[in-house]
Amino acid sequence: MEEKEVKTFQFVVVGGGIAGVTCVEQLSSQTPCADVALITAGPHIKAVTNYRQMSRTLEEFDVEEQPSSILQEKFPNLSVIHSAVRSLDTKSHRVQTADGRYFGYNKLCICSGGRPKLLSQDNPHVLGIRDTDSAQEFQKRLSNARRIVVVGNGGIALELVYEVEGCDVIWAVKDKSIGNTFFDAGAAQFLIPSLEADKPAAAAPCKRLRYTTEEPTPEAAQTFTADRHSRGGSSASTESGSALGPDWHQGIILKGSEQVTRRVSVEYQCEVENIFTSKDHLTSSQGTHRHENESWPVYIQLTNGKTFGCDFIVSATGVVPNSEPFINGNTFAVAEDGGLCVDDHMLTSEPDVYAAGDVCTACWEHSPLWQQMRLWTQARQMGWYAGRCMAAHASTQPIELDFCFELFSHVTRFFNYKVVLLGKFNGQGLERDHELLVRCTKGHEYVKVILSRGRMVGAVLIGETDLEETFENLILNQMDLTPYGEDLLNPNIDIEDYFD
Ligand SMILES: *[C@@H]1O[C@H](CO)[C@@H](O)[C@H](O)[C@H]1NC(C)=O
Ligand SMILES: *[C@@H]1O[C@H](CO)[C@@H](O)[C@H](O)[C@H]1NC(C)=O
């Protein structure tokens, strides 16, 4: 690298998403005299608004796009550099931007996020949805669409199929049930009738388009094979989540109905075999649906043998960490999922380089009740904690792993129900000796508790159950609940009183 005048900052943060912006805010407010730079390509940053701490670990917030000038007004010692990063040289502690400039750092935090895994890289009929930008493009194209195919089973697919109206949706999921990253087949069946019903007029779900990793973690996969309740015969990699209660055998398959505005049909346990444009399709002998006589811009053939014509395909099959520009020329430890490995201080394997949010993989030994999921909640927590670690290390102060990494917790809305996930909510990584208690009232609530050796280790709460704080406490204090037996979920007993 040519020696020339290089502006050096105490702290440089790369990425204008939730992790990067939270990290910058934390650094700037904790060390107001420090030179901080945020390097981000776009003119807008993503800001956390309406933050609300609901309990010790549960938090809710909205995400808003704002001009980056808002950050600079708030923090006069912050420089915002509008460019993408071309390369990083960890030895000389320098970042090169796409516009050819170099910036030095004492400490760097990489928060470059992830990008959608696309089914097809350059097919104009395949749309990957990752954030608000791509969601806007999606809405534009949706206005002329009669039928779309959604591929994927993560959070973004769940939100999409519920939100889309006035257009047929074919939803291809590779699992036996919908949403299996978030809940088991029982909870999925609780939610499915909502897809058939008209959306309540008052429903204004928070627009929080978000994906999560699609693949069950190796840990989760072990769970199924060890799980005595799981349905037999399925391979570990296709069925996620733990046990089903005895009432959950009947598979409910959604059929589009003429009188409702939402028409979703789910194709279970299938992936994409092939995508044709109409021209390819007409000259190919591959069978279409026999009833289909119309011509469509694009056709998708699924591994279950069915082919559907549609206006476009939405690829919602997860993301890959955006780590390439940083890896080249350096010796980062990279996790199997492509993320930069970070330790319990959000430090990568390169000195003075931290990472937070979707680009990183938590490689420290996790608390038994926590797992990484690439959700906005964790992007905020990691960005915030990385900022604190950078500031602490810069002043050689000790810092301990933050409490938010003790217990996994997440609150969201799916299909207009409040959904709270706590701890090993899907039995992730548990031994075969775990037990489940389920309580479900159709159209009202679904409550599942995971017990291991009499202790609560996880819970799924769908609906207005009002149980999250009590259960969070029971999980955190690991009290032996054996004496309470099934009364734990007895709707006629107020558990809160029980444990006060
Ligand atoms: C910016 O940094 C300088 C020192 O570098 C400090 O004197 C000043 O107070 C800082 N500004 C704010 C708003 O904190
Ligand atoms: C199918 O298309 C052909 C010509 O393209 C037309 O004659 C026929 O009526 C169509 N059939 C149906 C069921 O729409």
Nearest ligand, CA of residue 291? 2
Nearest CA to ligand 1 atom 7: 33
Atom of ligand 1 nearest to the CA of 77: 1
| pLDDT at site 216 | 34
Nearest CA to ligand 1 atom 3: 33
Ligand 2 centroid to Cα of residue 311, in Å, is 19
> Domain spanning 118-176+219-315 has what CATH number?
3.50.50.60
The mean pLDDT value for 399-410 works out to: 95
* Highest mean pLDDT out of 95-104, 119-128, 269-278: 95-104
Ligand 2 centroid to Cα of residue 424, in Å, is 54
| pLDDT at site 293 | 63
Q: How far apart are CA 148 and CA 171, in angstroms?
A: 9
For residue 83, pLDDT over 50 is answered with: yes
Model confidence over 160-187: pLDDT tens digits?
Answer: 888 787 788 999 999 988 988 888 888 8
CATH 3.50.50.60 maps onto the chain at: 6-115+321-404, 118-176+219-315
Classify strands 114-116 and 319-321 as parallel, antiparallel or unpaired. Answer: antiparallel
| pLDDT at site 185 | 84
CATH 3.30.390.30 maps onto the chain at: 409-498
Which of 18-27, 88-97, 266-275 bottoms out in mean pLDDT, i.e. has the lowest? 266-275
Ligand 1 centroid to Cα of residue 79, in Å, is 13
Model confidence over 182-236: pLDDT tens digits?
Answer: 888 888 889 888 887 665 443 332 222 233 333 333 333 222 222 222 222 222 2
For residue 89, pLDDT over 60 is answered with: yes
Model confidence over 368-383: pLDDT tens digits?
Answer: 999 999 888 999 999 9
| pLDDT at site 2 | 52
Nearest CA to ligand 1 atom 14: 32
| pLDDT at site 123 | 85
Q: How far apart are CA 314 and CA 7, in angstroms?
A: 43
| pLDDT at site 349 | 97
Ligand 2 centroid to Cα of residue 288, in Å, is 15
The fold of the 6-115+321-404 domain, in CATH, is FAD/NAD(P)-binding domain (3.50.50)
Nearest CA to ligand 1 atom 13: 76
Which of 28-32, 77-81, 218-222, 371-375 bottoms out in mean pLDDT, i.e. has the lowest? 218-222
Please report which confidence band the pLDDT of residue 136 belongs to, taking 50, 70 and 90 as the band edges: low
Please report which confidence band the pLDDT of residue 278 belongs to, taking 50, 70 and 90 as the band edges: low
Question: 409-498, which class in CATH?
Answer: alpha beta
Pocket test for ligand 1, best of 77, 78, 106 (most atoms within 8 A of CB): 77
Residues having CB within 6 Å of any atom of ligand 1: 32-33, 76-77
The mean pLDDT value for 241-269 works out to: 46
Ligand 1 centroid to Cα of residue 226, in Å, is 58
Question: What would the two tokens of residue 261 be?
Answer: 């505005």
